[in-house]
Amino acid sequence: METVCLTWETAHLHGDFWYQHHQIRKALFVDSYRWSVPHNNDVEWDCYDNPNTRYVLTHVDGRVIAASRFNPCSFDGGTFTYMIRDAALGRLPSIPRGILENPPIDNATWEATRFSVDPTLAPAEKNAALSENARAIALAAKSVGAQTLIALMQPAFVRWLKQAGLQAERIGPILRDDTGSRICVIQMHLHYV
């Protein structure tokens, strides 16, 4: 199992990994979870897939099995910034506005999103792939100057991230999204990585 970090600029250097990860996201978020997000018959994407985005893709034998992405919290695209801040500003009706008071806009904080895994993997393989990916995204974010990663996840992921070797804590309230799932903002300190 290996992991690569790529950007829009470097995606072509890694074959079809970038496209494969969008296929996994569609299989997981649209086909399995039934999220109402942009997609076509093959892939899922959203406005947070942009030239600032860095993708962390875990693969085996040319096949992407887990993925995540991260974006700078300092970016302001006018109509969108990053997911947690946009939710707090009321731009994402599926996520409660109160998810985080005063979302960060500094250069040292980046947001991690779209943690995904190939839904056809066995449970132990899923856990191993996601654990590898979580550690890799922490290292990749630290390598571009991030000191902290924040993520919108279910509260149980605090414990899971700690088991994966990352320092994590909940920093906002536990709320329910429009599907009824419990969600919160989790912060990962990267100085321990």
| CATH number (domain holding residue 64) | 3.40.630.30
Span of 31-45, 77-91, 121-135 with lowest mean pLDDT: 31-45
Identify the pLDDT of residue 92.
95
Q: Is the per-residue pLDDT at 47 higher than 90? A: yes
Residue pLDDT, tens place only, 52-70? 999 999 999 999 999 999 9
Report the alpha-carbon distance of residue 169 to residue 150 in Å, rounded: 10
- Structurally, the chain folds into a number of domains equal to 1
CB 186 within 8 A of CB 161: yes
In contact, 149 and 83? CB cutoff 8 Å: no
Q: Which residues constitute the domain of residue 125?
A: 2-192
Amino acid at 113: T
The band of 38, judged by pLDDT with boundaries at 50, 70 and 90, is: confident
Nearest CA to 95 out of 46, 134, 43 is that of 46
Cα distances from 38 to residues 66, 86, 105, in angstroms, run: 20, 17, 26
Would you state the pLDDT for residue 135?
A: 97
Q: Mean pLDDT across the chain, nearest whole number?
A: 96
Q: How many CA atoms lie within 13 A of 23 on its CB side?
A: 11
- Residues forming a β-bridge with 111: 71, 150
- Tell whether pTM > 0.85: yes
Q: What is the mean pLDDT of residues 133-145?
A: 97
Buried b (16+ CB within 10 A) or exposed e, 2-31: ebbbbeeeebeebeebbebbbbbbbbbbbe
% of the chain residues with pLDDT over 90: 93
